[in-house]
Amino acid sequence: MTAALTLLPAVDVQGGQAVQLTQGIAGSEKTFGDPLAAARRWQDAGASWLHLVDLDAAFGRGSNAEVIAEITGAMELNVELSGGIRDDASLERALATGCRRVNIGTAALENPAWCERIIGEHGDRIGIAIDVRGTRLAARGWVREGGDWAEAVDRLSAAGCATFVVTDVASDGMLTGPNLALLREVASRTDAEVIASGGIASLADLTALRGLVPQGITGAIIGTALYVGNFTLADALDAAGR
């Protein structure tokens, strides 16, 4: 029996509201109201993890730190926190919310030595978000391109990274299905857990990802498909083998 795929419903916060973007593009968002209410909804429906993103911090145009801290403090599940964590001060602020894991995105490209140090200091409380466009890393709100993603995975795996969150930028928010080939390729290069992000549109997508659990794809972030009602979280958890 294949082990279960861990599902992480996404709550992306912008201007204090829960939103979902298309391909990470500012201005493409659909708004879904109170983010705390959304988080509680996913917790009540049985989620064991929440993927919580401060989009304003990610785009470098502000912060929803108080809302993020309030949500994290109110949750009994594990919270993975992302968005704008690029230095010691923003990292300490994120860790202080009591979240289980902090995802580092842009900083992994711009300051890999810092990423190596904080992985050494905080272990599996640090995840690395690998946002991929083609063979290149996409940075800061996905508007800039960085280096080769494989080099980043190799270097940060060697530093002891326990979790990579992998997004194919082209598929994010598009409901076109996850990039299984990319996920397999990342998993083949690392012993770390790999969490799939972007493109999940159907229960069949979750079933396909669950089939990759033995290869190291251990989790999946689900956002747009949940919010627009393609499936319920209960059905998704069943497909994931909870």
Catalytic residues: 12, 131
DSSP 97-149: TT-SEEEE-HHHHH-HHHHHHHHHHHGGGEEEEEEEETTEEEEGGGTEEEEEH
Phi, psi of 6, deg, nearest 5: -80, 125
Q: Which residue type occupies 134?
A: G
Q: Is 175 left (phi over 0), alpha (psi -120 to 50) or beta?
A: left
